[in-house]
Structure 1
Amino acid sequence: MTTTLGTASAGPGEIDTGRLEVGETRDGSPIGLPVAVINGAQPGKTLYMQAVSDGDELNGVGVLQRVVPQLDPAELSGTILIVGIVNYHAFQVAEHRNPIDDTKMNRAYPGNENGTSSERIAAATFDVATRADLVLDLHQGSTSRMLNEVRVRCGKRHRLHQDCLELAKTFGCGYVLDQKGPDGQLARAAPDEGIPTIDPELGGCVGWDETSIRKGVEGIFNVLTHYDFLEGTVELERQTRANGFDQYGSPNGGLISFEKDLGDRVVRGDTLFKVTTPFGETKATVTADNEGILWRTRRLPQVATGEYVCSVGTDIDSY
């Protein structure tokens, strides 16, 4: 059976790429998101993947750029649907939010086909997502430094919570944040439609980070194998799970000096960072409020009073 997505169309054992039209630019030119259809030679499940929901989070498209050329539809069971760049306008100017309506795309789902620019793009991509059995929404920590992790955003009382946890474990970044996400996230909206969905946060960088991209490629092939798109087996490894976050801002303006590295365990009272003058004079020392793992840090050392500095994953367990 032929499968289409926008202008891409592929019969069994075929792959095709094209564009999914989602509106027009200010000069009236059509906006087409890059899409791909990989239609396996054998029937099976459908996987939907998307990247660059936030315009400066590029590791996801780096992953897709490496994954798609490795896929042979003749060896695939089922179908893979891909939108390679979701936030068209933000990607063009390398910004996080859609500059047309100043909206964070991953707060606009399930979207509105007659709404704002972001709502229309969200509606079009959500329509694709709801054709799938599984969804991977590839993100990264914007320009922060962050662990490679997977986020389960449906909430622990959701009927698909265990299915989303299994998908996260299969992806296998090693770290999972299991915390209900804000309204409008794809990983919140798609489970409400009965589709297990996760949000891999593939590190954080300016540009591409090869280590995180390789982790993402490995994660996608883990999913393809475990869910029978490809032949083989995957040995699932235990994941370190955080069930919450403590976020820390700076009590003073100055320069940040971290006392802990990403992934380090901390206990209450451990020094996380110091704020100094340009001459190394200590202005403030900030300590951990609770036991946890240093999960995310700002990249630039300079801060103003109250500006974000770091996050500690809390309520740690494994599964």
Structure 2
Amino acid sequence: MTLTLGTASAAPGEIDTGRLTVGELRDGTPAALPVAVINGAEDGRRLYIQAVSDGDELNGLGVLTQVVPQLDPTELTGEILIVGIVNYHGFQVGEHRNPIDDRKTNRTYPGNENGSTSERIAAATYDAAQTADLILDLHQGSTSQMINETRVRCGQRHRMHGDCLRLAKVFGTGFVIDQKGPDGQLARVGPDNGIPTIDPELGGCVGWDEESIQIGVDGIFNVLRYYGFLDGDVSLSAQTRAKGFDQYGSPVGGLVHYTCELGEQIRPGQTLFEVTDTFGELKARVTADSSGIFWRSRRLPQVATGEYVCSVGTNVDEY
């Protein structure tokens, strides 16, 4: 059977790329998302992948530039639908949110075909996603510094929690956040409709980071092999899981100096960072409230009173 997404169309054993129109720009020209379809030679599951629902998160796009050229549809069992750039408008200007409606696209699922620009994009992409057996929504920690991790957002009491957690383990970033996400996230809506969905957060950087991209490439091929799209075995390794976050802001204005590294195990009372004035005189020292993993930190050193500085993943175990 022919596989179609937007203008991309492929018969069994073929691959094609095209565009998915989601509206018009201010001059009336089409706003069209880049899409790809890979139709395997044999029948099987369907995988949906998307990237750049936040316009400044480019590592997922970097992953797709490496994964798609490696896929041979004649060796594939099943089907893959890909939307390469979801937040079309944010991507064009390098902004996290959609500048047309000032909304975060990954808070608008399942969307509304008659709604705002972001809601229309969500509706068009979810029309494709909801036909899949598995969903990968590729993200990164915006431009902050962050470890490579995968998020399970359905909530630990959800009927699909075990399936989502297994998908996260297969993807295999090494770290997992297992915490119910905000309304409107694709990783919330997919499980509500019976589809295992994860949100890999591939580091955090300005532009893209080759190490995080490679982790994402490996993760997708792990999924393809484990779920039978491609031949090959996958060795599952234990993942470090956090079920919560402690976030820390600065008690004063000044310049931040970190005293721990991303991924480091943190003990209660350990110093996370210090804040100095312009000439290096100590103004404040901030310590951890509880044990966990040093998960994320702001990139720029300058902070105002109360401004976000870093996060520690808490309630940590292995699974």
TM range (shorter): over 0.9
Amino acid at match of 2:109: Y
Cα-to-partner distance string for 1:166-220 (whole Å, 9 max, x where unaligned):
0000000000000000000000001111000000000000001000000000000
CA distance in 2, matches of 1:15, 1:131: 18
Aligned equivalent of 2:232: 232
Matches within 5 A, 1:60-71: 60-71=60-71
In structure 2, the residue matched to 1:49 is 49
Q: Could you tell me which residue of structure 1 aligns to residue 253 of structure 2?
A: 253
Q: 1:4 — aligned with what?
A: 4
2:21 is the alignment partner of 1:34: no
- Aligned equivalent of 2:212: 212
1:51, CA displacement in angstroms? 0.2
* Structure 2 unaligned spans of 5+: none
Aligned to 2:166: 166
CA distance in 1, matches of 2:117, 2:41: 37
Aligned residues: CA RMSD: 0.4
Distance in structure 1 (CA, Å) of the matches to 2:254 and 2:274: 9
Q: Percent identity?
A: 74
Q: CA deviation at 1:278?
A: 1.4
Per-residue CA shift, 1:18-38, capped at 9, x if unaligned? Answer: 000000000111111000000
CA distance in 2, matches of 1:280, 1:314: 31
Provide the rounded CA distance (Å) in 2 between the counterparts of 1:266 and 1:226.
33
Moved over 4 A (4+): none
For 1:23 and 1:157, the matched residues in 2 are separated by 38
Give the structure 1 partner of residue 25 of structure 2.
Answer: 25
1:269 is displaced (CA, Å) by: 0.4
Give the match for residue 316 of structure 2. Answer: 316
Partner-residue secondary structure (3-state), 1:157: coil
Q: Are 1:150 and 2:150 matched, yes or no?
A: yes
Corresponding residue for residue 222 of structure 1: 222
Give the match for residue 113 of structure 1: 113
Q: Distance in 2 between matches of 1:218 and 1:232?
A: 13
2:212 alignment partner AA:
S
Query: Residues of 2 paired with 1:266 and 1:176: CA distance?
Result: 17
Gaps of 5+ in 1: none
Listed as ranges, the matches of 1:273-284 within 5 Å are: 273-284=273-284
Partner of 1:89: 89
In the alignment, residue 269 of structure 1 is paired with which amino acid? Answer: G
CA distance in 2, matches of 1:121, 1:296: 29
Distance 1:122 1:284 in 2: 43
Aligned to 1:223, what secondary structure does the other structure show?
helix
Q: Secondary structure at the match of 1:221?
A: helix
The code of the aligned residue for 1:302 comes to Q
SS at match of 1:125: helix
TM-score by length of 2: 1.00
Three-state SS of the structure 2 residue aligned to 1:220 is: helix
1:302 has 2:302 as partner: yes
1:185 equivalent to 2:185? Answer: yes
Report the equivalent of 1:72.
72
> Per-residue CA shift, 1:235-276, capped at 9, x if unaligned?
100000000000000000000000000011111100000000
Pairwise CA distance, 1:279 = 1.0
What TM-score does the superposition give when structure 1 sets the normalisation length?
A: 1.00
Q: Distance in 2 between matches of 1:68 and 1:3?
A: 16
Separation in 2 of the partners of 1:205 and 1:193?
32
SS in 2 for 1:216: helix
The offset of 1:61, in angstroms, is 0.3
TM alignment of 1:120-139, pairs within 5 A:
120-139=120-139
SS in structure 1 of the partner of residue 313 of structure 2: strand
State the AA in 2 paired with 1:279.
Answer: F
Aligned length: 319
Is the partner of 1:64 in helix, strand or coil?
A: helix
Aligned counterparts of 1:211 and 1:307: Cα–Cα separation in 2: 29
Q: Which residue of 2 aligns with 1:266?
A: 266
